Amino acid sequence: MTKNLLIIYALCGIMAITGILYFLVAYGEYTDWMELLNFGIHDETTEKQVEITLFIVSGLIYFGLVLWLLKTRFIKRLPYIVTILVSIALISTYIASRTVGVPIVGVELYVGKLDLISKIMQISVIALSIVAMYRINRLVYSFTK
Amino acid sequence: MTIISQSYGKVILFSLLSIVPLLLISNSVLSFGQSNATNSIAITSSNQTNTTSADNPNNEIIKSIDTGILMIKSGDNDGAKKSLYQAEASLEDQPNQSGAEKHIEASLKALKDGDTSGALTHAEEAKKGLA
């Protein structure tokens, strides 16, 4: 296996794991929401619904991007660019939620284990996407060889 | 077509191979941070003073948080969660105390994550905000 293909497969694997992590975070938020309702706390409902939706959509986007990369056989630049932009947007949203606050949710004060792991994954996704884009011509050669 | 089906297999294989080292690395980093945080909590707890006063309207909430803190320290995380949820429920109609509420939420999330020191830090911060 060439180094280029190794990078691509690692990228797709990490993106799939990031998607799964987002689903796990969404499930965590759902259980939190149910516990809050059990204690008669209703003012968090909108916040939790927004968070759960955002995390599910983010997870689906990562799986969609993996499928797009597979469909284009890793040789088009656009899926990599979209992957980088999506990852940057999600990391920026996360940083904003822990510092200046985001609409509806406000400022969150805790940085969880899953949060840290997913941010490490997303930084890896950005790095690997940039490397893959620079090596795209050699990648075409790897597939046609 | 063969290349694409091979690709799917390899993607799944790399998914499994890449998650293991990342999880191991993150866990060791967090454990290190946790032990450092525990030391700082021990210091702050020893210097802690009683923050409740007779005329404070938030005394009941502070008591709930205090109970939560004691339960966290005794290892009763479920009991601690109940006390912290009670405190949060009491704060529901007090928008001016959103800072304390956020700290209680953070404490609950830390408890869920198994981060006892983080839970204690945020519970103490919530108490300070109400004192």
Reported as a single tens digit per residue, the pLDDT across A106-122 is 999 999 999 999 999 99
Q: What is the mean pLDDT of chain A?
A: 92
Structure ipTM over 0.95, yes or no: no
Question: Do A13 and B14 make contact, defined as CB atoms within 8 angstroms?
Answer: yes
Residue-level pLDDT at A89: 98
- Residue A59 belongs to domain spanning: 3-144
Residue A102 has pLDDT above 70, yes or no: yes
**At residue A75, does pLDDT exceed 60?**
yes
Of B56, B72, B57, B60, whose CA–CA distance to B124 is shortest? B72
For range A21-44, the mean pLDDT: 93
**Chain B interface with A: residues with Cβ < 8 Å:** 3-4, 7-8, 10-19, 22-23, 26-27, 29-30, 81, 85-86, 88-89, 92, 98, 102-103, 105-110, 112-113, 115, 118, 122
In sign, the C-alpha dihedral spanning B114, B118, B124, B129 is negative
- For the entire predicted model, the pTM comes to 0.77
Q: Which residue has the higher pLDDT, A114 or A143?
A: A114
- pLDDT for B18: 59
Residue B6, pLDDT score: 61
A73 pLDDT above the threshold of 50: yes
3-state secondary structure of B88: helix
Predicted confidence band at A101 (pLDDT cuts at 50, 70, 90)?
A: very high
Q: Residues of chain B whose pLDDT is less than 70?
A: 1-55
How many domains would you assign to chain A? 1
Least confidently predicted of A18-32, A50-64, B93-107: B93-107
Is residue A125's pLDDT more than 50?
A: yes
- Contact assessment for residue A114 and residue A122, using Cβ atoms and an 8 Å cutoff: no
Q: What is the pLDDT of residue B15?
A: 60
Cα three-residue angle A77-A80-A84, rounded to 5 degrees: 140
Name the residue among B17, B19, B109 with its Cβ closest to that of A112. B109
In this prediction, residue B7 carries a pLDDT of 61
Backbone phi, psi, residue A109, to 5°: -105, -15
What length is written for chain A? 145
